[in-house]
């Protein structure tokens, strides 16, 4: 005799099955066979694109791509070109985020890195319109600031605060205030700094405003926010912010292993740590140490950066995910993480004047150049940097991202100035 199924169990099982079916259909819909543009670019990517020994053609192509990303977001919002937020990226294949092959909508924290880069590129390339674009993007971010001073984590009816997004926005508003002198940016930066100050634990760890899949007790996710708080303490003449930043960065330093590894840079359940997250943490230690004049923090950043350089393969590919012994935990390469590390190595050279930091820079930038398509007639492809190599890797498959393209432009700009013997930029000119 068969027992009848429990209706309550059936009510739970059916939605779970439906979700699994939808996910499977979405993966099928995103397959490159059904997306000719993704299929074509995948083949081109494997062969590699033309590399110019001069940085300028690659830099201009990347900056122009960033400008088109902002124009696409403005068009989607019905705004004037060059004003407002910036698209998160461009999808070469169908995606749940934006449907068919198209520019992705802007998201909180998704394009903050573009603002300091545009200000720097404006001066370096003598293109004043880029500074205007940076200012409009900074103004757009003001609309996302919550009454608490925090930046929202995502587009939801009940917006939640995000420490990471607040830290990036703080760097953006400090850059905009330095460039324009506008009090509206100083006010926004001050409110953001007070949120970070008020929510930092006595042990130097932020537990409010943490992304859902992150370890709730990890300090390392927010090293970049600590750097931003240190910058705010200096720029806004707020010693309490400086002291809080030191407390947060020391909490990061306490967790570093002898081999330079920075633990808990991965979300719960993830094998290894994403290279981009590791790079963010190293940058936070380095720049925070610089602002605080803390040689120990700089040395710790250097130790991790040295191991990251050894983890990069001879072709210039940095594994997309790293294990705690710095061995690859993924077969694909993280392009945004590679670009960030190139900037870190350049910053270490600027700080220490040690030639050894330039050795991985040339290799990394040459590889990144070989992934940049500068002949495509697709405005979403021409000049942008993909999320990963190969293009169809599990992380950010068939996407070009603002974060990676801005990081690439930052590294090229810094290295071009170094080659020309021009004084280095201050860190937050291209944060």
Window from 198-207, 212-221, 338-347, 356-365 with minimum mean pLDDT: 212-221
**Inside any domain, residue 18:** no
Q: State the Cα–Cα distance between residues 399 and 390, nearest whole angstrom.
A: 11
Q: State the Cα–Cα distance between residues 164 and 224, nearest whole angstrom.
A: 7
The reported pLDDT for the residue numbered 108 is 83
The reported pLDDT for the residue numbered 270 is 54
Q: Assign 200 to helix, strand or coil.
A: strand
Whose CA is closest to 102, among 399, 404, 403, 406?
A: 399
pLDDT digits (tens, 9 = 90+) for 155-173: 766 788 999 999 999 999 9
The reported pLDDT for the residue numbered 157 is 62
**Inside any domain, residue 291:** yes
The number of distinct structural domains making up the chain is: 1
The reported pLDDT for the residue numbered 154 is 79
CATH of the domain at 285: 1.50.10.10
Percent of the chain at pLDDT above 90? 68
**Inside any domain, residue 12:** no
**Inside any domain, residue 13:** no
Whose CA is closest to 411, among 62, 44, 23, 16?
A: 62
Average pLDDT, the chain: 86
Supply the DSSP symbol for 108: T
**Inside any domain, residue 15:** no
Both tokens assigned to 279: 């790079």
The reported pLDDT for the residue numbered 128 is 97
19: region left, alpha or beta (phi > 0 left; psi from -120 to 50 alpha): alpha
Q: State the Cα–Cα distance between residues 92 and 101, nearest whole angstrom.
A: 5
pLDDT grade for 269, boundaries at 50, 70 and 90: very low
Which residue range is the domain that position 370 belongs to?
38-430
Percent of the chain at pLDDT above 70? 80
Q: What is the pLDDT averaged over residues 141-167?
A: 88
Model pTM score: 0.89
Q: What is the pLDDT averaged over residues 85-97?
A: 81
Q: State the Cα–Cα distance between residues 37 and 193, nearest whole angstrom.
A: 43
Considering only residues 171 and 29, tell me which one the structure prediction assigns the higher pLDDT.
Answer: 171
Does pLDDT of 79 surpass 50?
yes
Both tokens assigned to 103: 């520019």
The reported pLDDT for the residue numbered 221 is 66
Whose CA is closest to 203, among 268, 266, 249?
A: 249
pLDDT grade for 258, boundaries at 50, 70 and 90: very high
Task: Give the C-alpha distances (Å, rounded to integers) separating 320 from 198, 314, 330.
Answer: 34, 15, 6
pLDDT digits (tens, 9 = 90+) for 277-329: 999 999 999 999 999 999 999 999 999 999 999 999 999 999 999 999 999 99
Supply the DSSP symbol for 377: S
pLDDT grade for 107, boundaries at 50, 70 and 90: confident
The reported pLDDT for the residue numbered 6 is 47
DSSP string, 85-150: ---SEEESS-BTTTBSSEEPPP-TTSSTTHHHHHHHHHHHTT-HHHHHHHHHHHHHHHTTB-TTSP
């Amino acid at each position: 005799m068969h027992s009848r199924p429990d209706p309550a169990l059936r009510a739970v099982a059916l939605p779970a099955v439906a979700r699994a079916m939808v996910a499977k259909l979405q993966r099928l819909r995103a397959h490159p066979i059904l997306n000719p543009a993704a299929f074509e670019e995948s083949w081109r990517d494997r062969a590699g694109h033309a590399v110019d020994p001069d940085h300028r053609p690659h830099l201009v192509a990347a900056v122009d791509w960033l400008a088109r990303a902002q124009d696409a977001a403005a068009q989607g919002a019905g705004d004037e070109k060059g004003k407002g937020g910036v698209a998160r990226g461009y999808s070469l294949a169908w995606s749940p985020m934006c449907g068919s092959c198209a520019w992705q909508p802007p998201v909180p924290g998704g394009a903050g890195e573009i603002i300091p880069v545009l200000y720097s590129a404006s001066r370096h390339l003598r293109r004043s319109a880029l500074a205007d674009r940076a200012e409009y993007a900074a103004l757009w971010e003001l609309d996302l600031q919550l009454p608490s001073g925090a930046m929202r984590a995502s587009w939801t009816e009940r917006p939640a605060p995000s420490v990471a997004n607040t830290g990036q926005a703080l760097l953006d508003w400090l850059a905009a205030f330095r460039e324009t002198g506008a009090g509206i940016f100083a006010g926004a930066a001050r409110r953001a700094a007070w949120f970070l100050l008020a929510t930092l634990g006595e042990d130097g760890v932020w537990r409010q405003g943490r992304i859902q899949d992150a370890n709730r007790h990890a300090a390392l996710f927010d090293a970049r926010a600590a750097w931003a708080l240190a910058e705010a303490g200096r720029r806004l003449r707020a010693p309490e912010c400086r002291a809080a930043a030191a407390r947060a960065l020391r909490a990061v330093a306490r967790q570093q292993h002898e081999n330079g590894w920075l633990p808990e840079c991965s979300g719960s359940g993830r094998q290894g740590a994403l290279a981009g997250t590791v790079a963010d943490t190293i940058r936070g230690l380095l720049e925070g140490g610089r602002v605080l004049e803390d040689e120990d923090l700089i040395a710790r950043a250097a130790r991790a950066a040295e191991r990251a350089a050894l983890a990069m393969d001879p072709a210039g590919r940095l594994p997309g995910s790293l294990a705690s012994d710095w061995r690859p935990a993924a077969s694909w390469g993280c392009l945004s993480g590679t670009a960030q590390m190139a900037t870190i190595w350049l910053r270490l050279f600027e700080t220490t004047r040690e030639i050894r930091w330039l050795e991985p820079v040339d290799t990394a930038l040459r590889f990144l150049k070989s992934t940049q398509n500068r002949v495509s007639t697709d405005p979403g492809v021409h000049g942008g940097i993909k999320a990963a190599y190969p293009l169809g890797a599990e992380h950010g498959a068939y996407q070009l991202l603002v974060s990676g393209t801005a990081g690439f432009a930052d590294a090229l700009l810094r290295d071009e100035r170094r080659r020309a013997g021009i004084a280095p930029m201050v860190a937050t000119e291209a944060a």
